[in-house]
């Protein structure tokens, strides 16, 4: 895993001139790859690369130049990620085309696959990746991002050319070279305050966008970027009839997970891979399967010294049961407040998920011991794990109510005071799935946002983000449609952004075995009744993991990594939050008096505004760093081991 930066210039001979600027812009993502830093340029393209080395450390350097015997320097690769099936691809390329390789790394497999199999080769890659591939013969830059969006890829286009980067801050550094603006996107801001993240392909800067997950693209010097989707996830349930068919399904799940974990532990012999461990089934399964391959596995857990907000005790019991060394890092409110500005700098765009702060601390702790960790992200989206996926069962009676009556129930809900039990059930029951579900987080509803966001527009809504995915999933069962929406919104907008940014901030590679092409093939065929029941979620996965995961975890209810900000914002964090609000220079965007009233209402109770306040505070910190340039976090130089 690494940090890449690439610029394809608008005209020839500009790349060499831009090489120093790219090298300078590369420095602000040094944390992504402190092992090696290098730049490369020809007449049209300049690359910059920070390497965090795992495979063929001695020889697989980047940028990587490769070509067939007749044109040995035709291609130059800039690649962030890991290809877990690269050995199989290399063997196939040698057998079919007598392909030649100079290293034992996975990067050459990407280039050779593209050369011999064409753009369709990207669909054969099993792994996490974002890459740029310059074809000097055809004068075209080809690139792609992995199917689920595990690895980030931003881009900006202006009169000076088109640039791509693992981190947005590097593109901001290149704005003068590109001729791009640093204008705040108020539409993206409204989406952020609704969803708690900025949805793809947007960013909070109008001239910087993101290559979407599962997408490839091409661009030539002076030309426009064109992209196309190569990954089309389909939840196509296959019926399961009888105990024998059930057992076969559970066996397939266990087998594909065991294979995926093995693939995700690939690294040179002297590099150690650990595992994150919470109190839930997902990370426990990953750790247990990894322990089968590495008897000396180290697992890492974070939590809080507050009852009801920590899974440390359950994780410790799991660690003892599966026999792994266990490292625990508890986090205080004071530590969260001190660290948040630096974490927001690493994020590039605000993500209002409080769980990313303790994740940052456990990543720092893990980097003292290992260079990569496995984690359980993606299980809920693939296997049906979120509690809200049971909502279609609870709202089923509303489906029998005539449309006019349902609308009336919605109006009744509007008149019920905020915080009253049953208000949200009525509101949601009155809506169709497409109108009520737009992912796991709902921060501000429109009527709440109107009183806070000065740039609020009725023409901006969650349908901008979800409508296409509902069209694609028309005819599927409601849970499959919710999973599909989450794959394109919540997963790649929140879960994977925080996973990548806060681990890479600590020069730690995070690998996610659930988000694997082969795992998805199995998970996508699971029928509704094997995902959601009246009693539990992820039913088939739980049954498949019996005997692998300790019994005390198998049927444990998902907590979702709760962070005690509701309590802290009434006590330890109150003055801190108030100071950020008062000092913020966001008056043109936000009604700060309304925000302060919200903070006071939360402090005195009974209303819980904690998630909305947190979203606003995170944005104000982001604005102070990237717009006002008033807040300047002290960014540490990456070091091994990471020191606190």
pLDDT band for position 565 (50/70/90)? very high
260 in a labelled binding site: no
| Residues 386, 296 contacting (CB under 8 angstroms) | no
> Is 9 among the catalytic positions?
no
| 242-385+495-554 is classed CATH 3.40.50.620 | yes
**Domain 2-184+205-229: CATH superfamily, name plus number:** Aminohydrolase, N-terminal nucleophile (Ntn) domain (3.60.20.10)
What pLDDT score was predicted for residue 203?
A: 98
214 in a labelled binding site: no
The per-residue pLDDT for range 22-79, each reduced to its tens digit, is 999 999 999 999 999 999 999 999 999 999 988 888 888 999 999 999 999 999 999 9
* pTM of the predicted protein model: 0.95
Question: 2-184+205-229 and 242-385+495-554: same fold?
Answer: no
Q: Average the pLDDT over each of 107-116, 244-253, 391-400 and give the range with the smallest value.
A: 391-400
Token readout for 135 is: 């074809």
The per-residue pLDDT for range 445-503, each reduced to its tens digit, is 999 999 999 999 999 999 999 999 999 999 999 999 999 999 999 999 999 999 999 99
pLDDT band for position 288 (50/70/90)? very high
CA atoms within 13 A on the CB side of 534: 2
What pLDDT score was predicted for residue 644?
A: 40
pLDDT band for position 545 (50/70/90)? very high
375 in a labelled binding site: yes
The per-residue pLDDT for range 184-210, each reduced to its tens digit, is 999 999 999 999 999 999 999 999 999
Count of residues making up the chain: 644
Whole-angstrom distance, CA of residue 187 vs CA of residue 262: 42
Q: Where are the domains of the chain?
A: 2-184+205-229, 242-385+495-554, 387-443+460-487
What pLDDT score was predicted for residue 521?
A: 97
What pLDDT score was predicted for residue 160?
A: 94
pLDDT band for position 269 (50/70/90)? confident
DSSP 38: E
Return the ∠ at Cα 589 (arms to 586 and 591), rounded to 5°: 85
Whole-angstrom distance, CA of residue 130 vs CA of residue 535: 40
| Residues 235, 522 contacting (CB under 8 angstroms) | no
For residue 10, count CB atoms less than 10 angstroms from its CB and return exposed for 0-12, middle for 13-18, buried for 19 or more: middle
What pLDDT score was predicted for residue 559?
A: 61
DSSP 56: S
Residue of 2, 18, 352, 618 with catalytic role: 2
What pLDDT score was predicted for residue 15?
A: 84
Closest CA to 443 of 616, 601, 611, 629: 611
- For the cut 50, the answer to whether the pLDDT of residue 20 exceeds it is yes
What pLDDT score was predicted for residue 440?
A: 85
The per-residue pLDDT for range 396-426, each reduced to its tens digit, is 888 777 777 777 877 788 788 877 887 878 8
- For the cut 60, the answer to whether the pLDDT of residue 560 exceeds it is no
Cite the beta strand spans of 335-481 per DSSP E: 372-374
Percent of the chain having pLDDT more than 70?
98
- Average pLDDT over the chain, rounded to an integer: 94
């Amino acid at each position: 895993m690494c940090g890449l930066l690439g610029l394809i210039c608008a005209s020839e001979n500009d790349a060499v001139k831009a090489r120093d600027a790219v090298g300078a812009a590369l420095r602000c993502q040094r944390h992504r790859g402190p092992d090696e830093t290098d730049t490369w340029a020809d007449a049209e393209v300049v690359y910059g690369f920070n390497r965090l080395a795992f495979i063929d450390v001695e020889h697989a350097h980047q940028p990587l130049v490769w070509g067939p015997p007749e044109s040995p320097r035709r291609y130059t690769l800039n690649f962030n990620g890991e290809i877990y099936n690269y050995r199989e691809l290399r063997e196939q390329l040698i057998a079919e085309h007598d392909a030649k390789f100079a290293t034992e790394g996975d990067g050459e497999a990407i280039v050779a696959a593209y050369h011999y199999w064409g753009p369709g080769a990207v669909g054969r890659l099993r792994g996490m990746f974002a890459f740029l591939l310059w074809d000097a013969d055809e004068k075209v830059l080809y690139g792609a991002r992995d199917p689920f969006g595990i690895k980030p890829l931003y881009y900006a286009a202006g009169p000076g050319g088109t640039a791509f980067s693992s981190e947005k801050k590097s593109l901001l550094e290149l704005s003068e070279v590109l001729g791009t603006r640093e204008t705040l996107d108020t539409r993206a801001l409204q989406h952020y305050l609704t969803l708690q993240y900025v949805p793809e392909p947007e960013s909070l800067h109008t001239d910087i966008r993101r290559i979407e997950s599962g997408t490839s693209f091409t661009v030539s010097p002076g030309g426009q970027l064109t992209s196309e989707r190569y990954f089309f996830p389909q939840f196509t349930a296959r019926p399961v009839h009888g105990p024998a068919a059930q057992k076969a399904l559970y066996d397939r799940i266990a087998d594909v997970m065991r294979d995926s974990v093995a693939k995700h532990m690939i690294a040179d012999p002297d590099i150690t891979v650990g595992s994150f461990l919470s109190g839930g089934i997902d990370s426990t399964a990953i750790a247990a399967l990894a322990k089968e391959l590495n008897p000396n596995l180290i697992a890492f857990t974070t939590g809080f010294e507050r009852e009801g907000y920590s899974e440390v005790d359950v994780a410790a019991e799991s660690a003892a049961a599966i026999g792994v060394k266990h490292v625990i890092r508890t986090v205080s409110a004071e530590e969260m407040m001190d660290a948040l500005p630096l974490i927001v700098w690493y994020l590039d765009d605000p993500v209002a998920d409080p769980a990313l702060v303790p994740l940052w601390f456990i990543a720092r702790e893990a980097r003292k011991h290992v260079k990569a960790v496995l984690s359980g992200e993606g299980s809920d989206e693939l296997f049906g794990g979120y509690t809200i996926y049971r909502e279609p069962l609870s709202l089923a009676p509303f489906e029998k109510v005539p449309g006019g009556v349902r609308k009336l129930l919605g109006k009744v809900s509007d008149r019920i005071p905020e915080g009253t039990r049953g208000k949200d059930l009525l509101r949601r029951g009155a809506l169709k799935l497409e109108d009520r579900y737009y992912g796991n987080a709902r921060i501000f509803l429109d009527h709440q946002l109107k009183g806070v966001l000065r740039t609020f527009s009725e023409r901006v809504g969650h349908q901008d983000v979800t409508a296409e995915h509902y069209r694609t999933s028309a005819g599927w069962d409601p849970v499959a449609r919710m999973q599909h929406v989450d794959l394109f919104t919540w997963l790649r907008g929140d879960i994977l952004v925080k996973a990548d940014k806060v681990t890479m901030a600590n020069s730690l590679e995070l690998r996610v075995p659930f988000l694997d092409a082969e795992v998805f093939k199995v998970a996508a065929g699971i029928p509704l009744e094997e995902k959601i029941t009246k009693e539990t979620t992820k039913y088939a996965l739980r049954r498949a993991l019996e005997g692998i995961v300790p019994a005390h975890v198998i049927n444990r209810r998902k907590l979702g990594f709760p962070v005690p900000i509701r309590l802290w914002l009434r006590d330890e964090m109150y003055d801190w939050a108030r100071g950020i609000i008062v000092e913020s220079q966001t008056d043109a965007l936000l009604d700060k008096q309304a925000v302060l009233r919200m903070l006071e209402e939360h402090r005195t109770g009974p209303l819980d505004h904690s998630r909305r306040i947190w979203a606003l505070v995170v944005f104000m910190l982001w604005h102070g760093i990237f717009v006002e340039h008033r807040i300047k976090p002290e960014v540490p130089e990456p070091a091994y081991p990471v020191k606190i």
